[in-house]
Amino acid sequence: MDLDELVFHPWVAQGPRKVPTFVGGSGSYVIDADGRRYLDFSSQLVFTNLGHQHPRIVAAIKQQADRLCTLAPAHASDIRGKAAQLIVEVAPEGLGHVLFTTGGTEAIEHAVRMARLHNGRPKVLAAYRSYHGSTTTSIHLTGDPRRWANDTGAAGAVHFFGPFLYRSVFGSGTPEEECERALAHLEQVILLEGPSTISALVLESVIGSSGVIVPPAGYLRGVRDLCTRHDIVYIADEVLIGFGRTGAWFGVDHEGVSPDLLVFAKGVNSGYVPLGGVLIGNPIFETFTKRPYPAGMTYSGHPLACAAAVGAIGAMHDEGTVAAAARLGTEILGPGLTELAEQHPCVGDVRGIGGLWTVELVRDRLNKEPLVPVGATGEANAPMTAFARGCIDRNLVPLVLGNRIHVAPPLNLSDADASTGLVILDEALSAADKYMA
């Protein structure tokens, strides 16, 4: 019996699957049960920022396992404190405390709860093209179609359009226009919803799994100003992009902006042991010096997860990972993927930053009709399935989402592996070209 059949898999219909079984990994590669090595161009779900089996992270976990595997959150822990210190040191200005969670969605839940307890207002604004997690509050804040099947209408979630020049809802022709119009739209939403009813605004600083959308210059600054003007808590969701993915420690760093709360997970320890958290600014921290924070988790600040964070952040400093991610974008992936777009008629757009890119596939470059419709499965999804199969057959793990190929390798990917990966993407894209209108 295939033991994988005993596992209930998230996001998909259950049933037998034809996928490799991975048993090992090394750097940018995962290794299957037959010893076949696959280049990981997904960083799994964009979290192995330092690749697989990084010796520094593995050693940190082992060392902590030998000392003290676990400890309740109420006790002081040296390794938890060290992890908090390293996180605060690289965080945007003014974020001086950390609530640890076991992942991203839990951290979003807590950030929103903190905001509501802080100002007593009910509503939270979030962008349509967004993903914030799959527990109750975070899936309702999620703007993209992953929300639909869960849409029982959590009170208070209000969606707005963020900037997205390729498919502009504002009819813009330039990034400057898109920025100005998206901010004017957001201000209208705030004014019409009633500023005094809005507790928080949650925004991915670069939209990740809902499209890899880098905001135009000035947008995050504008959001910060609107939140300040209307006393709205600005929550930056940096779960997917925090800790170097965009070529900066955090996405907000590209604009020198400090949110009131910043949510992280994934890259904080490359996902070796589940960890997420909320970085908390002083005004909200102050709220909870006067009264208890009415929530907690058994595994908040788990020592093994914190040890992995200490190992990972230390390695990122010593190995220059953030600068390497920036270079990966400007010198390797950006030019390489743009060249692919020129050769493949099914590519409608290439966009990204640092170590996070997407290749958006369309039926027709002029009308930009997606190559597969939203939520496509079976025959309707054949072009994307053909592309993914083409990658796996050539020993590359891709990340395919709807009509998009997300390119998010480990940030310490070697130039040679990057070239290998781009050649495989090129070959696999030929399979998708065949489905053009």
Ligand X SMILES: Cc1ncc(COP(=O)(O)O)c(C=O)c1O
Considering CB under 6 A, how many residues would be counted as binding ligand X? 16
132 binds ligand X (CB under 6 A): yes
| Residues between 31 and 60 that touch ligand X (CB under 6 A) | 45
Q: At what angle do helices 415-433 and 382-393 cross, to 10 degrees?
A: 140
208 binds ligand X (CB under 6 A): yes
Calculate ∠ Cα 306-279-112, nearest 5°: 115
Q: Please, what is the minimum distance in Å from the beta carbon of residue 274 to ligand X?
A: 8
Contacts of 331 (CB under 8 A, 6+ apart): none
- DSSP calls for 352-391: EETTEEEEEEBS-TTT--BSS-TT--GGGGHHHHHHHHHH
The token duo for 173 is 């022709």
Q: Please, what is the minimum distance in Å from the beta carbon of residue 103 to ligand X?
A: 3
In this structure, the strands spanning 198-204 and 233-237 are parallel
Contacts of 426 (CB under 8 A, 6+ apart): 340, 343, 344
Q: Please, what is the minimum distance in Å from the beta carbon of residue 38 to ligand X?
A: 21
The token duo for 355 is 């170590």
| Residues between 230 and 249 that touch ligand X (CB under 6 A) | 237, 239-240
Under DSSP, the state recorded for 17 is -
**Which residue's CB is nearer to ligand X, number 135 or number 287?**
135
Q: Nearest residue to ligand X, using CB?
A: 104
**Which residue's CB is nearer to ligand X, number 178 or number 237?**
237
**Which residue's CB is nearer to ligand X, number 278 or number 280?**
278
- The residue within the footprint of ligand X, chosen from 25, 92, 133, 222 (CB under 6 A), is 133
Q: Please, what is the minimum distance in Å from the beta carbon of residue 109 to ligand X?
A: 9
Q: Please, what is the minimum distance in Å from the beta carbon of residue 296 to ligand X?
A: 18
| Residues between 366 and 405 that touch ligand X (CB under 6 A) | none
**Which residue's CB is nearer to ligand X, number 115 or number 240?**
240
**Which residue's CB is nearer to ligand X, number 104 or number 410?**
104
The token duo for 313 is 């952040």
**Which residue's CB is nearer to ligand X, number 235 or number 424?**
235
Q: Give 21-89 as a 3 state SS string.
A: CEEEEEECEEEECCCCEEEECCHHHHCCCCCECCHHHHHHHHHHHHHCCCCCCCCCCHHHHHHHHHHHH
Q: Please, what is the minimum distance in Å from the beta carbon of residue 193 to ligand X?
A: 23
- The residue within the footprint of ligand X, chosen from 126, 182, 265, 407 (CB under 6 A), is 265
**Which residue's CB is nearer to ligand X, number 132 or number 302?**
132
Binding mask 72-111 for ligand X (x = CB under 6 A): -------------------------------xxx--x---
Distances (CA, A) of 265 to 104, 107, 192, 198, 339: 5, 8, 33, 26, 33
Residue span binding ligand X (CB under 6 A) among the ranges 49-57, 130-138, 339-347, 423-431? 130-138
Q: Please, what is the minimum distance in Å from the beta carbon of residue 297 to ligand X?
A: 13
Q: Please, what is the minimum distance in Å from the beta carbon of residue 276 to ligand X?
A: 6
Q: Which of 276, 267, 280 is closest to 107 using CA atoms?
A: 276
**Which residue's CB is nearer to ligand X, number 116 or number 132?**
132
Cα gap 387→402, rounded to integer Å: 12
411 binds ligand X (CB under 6 A): no
Instruction: Count the neighbouring beta carbons within 10 Å of the beta carbon of residue 42.
Output: 23
3-state secondary structure of 310: helix
The token duo for 103 is 């992942």
Q: Please, what is the minimum distance in Å from the beta carbon of residue 204 to ligand X?
A: 5
Strand-pairing partners, residue 357, are: 352, 407
Calculate ∠ Cα 349-353-359, nearest 5°: 25
- The residue within the footprint of ligand X, chosen from 209, 270, 300, 381 (CB under 6 A), is 209
The kind and range of the H/E element at 224 are: helix 219-229
The token duo for 124 is 């939270």
Residue pair 259/98 in contact (Cβ under 8 Å)? The answer is no
Residue span binding ligand X (CB under 6 A) among the ranges 128-136, 246-254, 321-329, 393-401? 128-136
Binding mask 280-319 for ligand X (x = CB under 6 A): ----------------------------------------
By CB under 6 A, name the binding residues for ligand X. Answer: 45, 103-105, 108, 131-133, 204, 208-209, 237, 239-240, 265, 276
